[in-house]
Chain A
Amino acid sequence: DVKVTQSSRYLVKRTGEKVFLECVQDMDHENMFWYRQDPGLGLRLIYFSYDVKMKEKGDIPEGYSVSREKKERFSLILESASTNQTSMYLCASSTSLMTGRYGYTFGSGTRLTVV
């Protein structure tokens, strides 16, 4: 069964800590994405990547960075966590060859709490 795996389901971190959220996909997809989900705001795109070592800013990149050293792995980094980054983080992947109706495959999400 193909999947996108996020390393942690729940995470609690302290303000100012450097936080790594890991995402791995086993579908050989070119594209990977990080979204955050907040009540009433839906999902908002943080960063995405079309290829290894390639990244592009989404709609809300401030306070975040990403790394994609291997095709299957896309990491989201909070350089200095703040309480306003408490949220649900969703990773997704898609293939460039089968766009549109096949959509994305999502991970189960990481619920991050910054205290």
Chain B
Amino acid sequence: AQKITQTQPGMFVQEKEAVTLDCTYDTSDPSYGLFWYKQPSSGEMIFLIYQGSYDQQNATEGRYSLNFQKARKSANLVISASQLGDSAMYFCAMSPRGAQKLVFGQGTRLTINP
């Protein structure tokens, strides 16, 4: 069975600093996808970034990048130049390729201080 672990329940960062949110996963499937979602206080889940297990390069989307270390089963999210609006819950998730469902981690609450 797949499992996602986020070991940081909460993080506090100064505005404009870079942030790394940790995510490790466990799967025996050779093919899978990794996702990061942001959940502001409004409750809606916002898709941030995706990494396929066979992708050769780390995914990037604007200020977001995914530090994918396949051998370590690690998929950390890096947010560059953090902003006050980045304060939210962040979830790492995984989907086996060919399966539709996502398995989520426990989440990390990120607070950006001015």
Contact = CB atoms under 8 A, between A and B. Distances in A.
B106 A104 contact: no
Nearest to B51: A101
Given A100-B95, A106-B45, A109-B43, A43 B52 contact: no
A100 B97 contact: yes
Give chain A's interface residue range (CB within 8 Å of chain B).
20 to 34
B101 A33 contact: yes
B91 A42 contact: yes
A45 B91 contact: no
Interface of A: 31, 33, 35, 40-45, 48, 50, 58, 88, 90, 92, 94, 96, 99-109, 111
Interface of B: 4, 6, 9, 33, 35, 37, 42-45, 47, 50, 52, 91, 93, 95, 97-98, 100-107
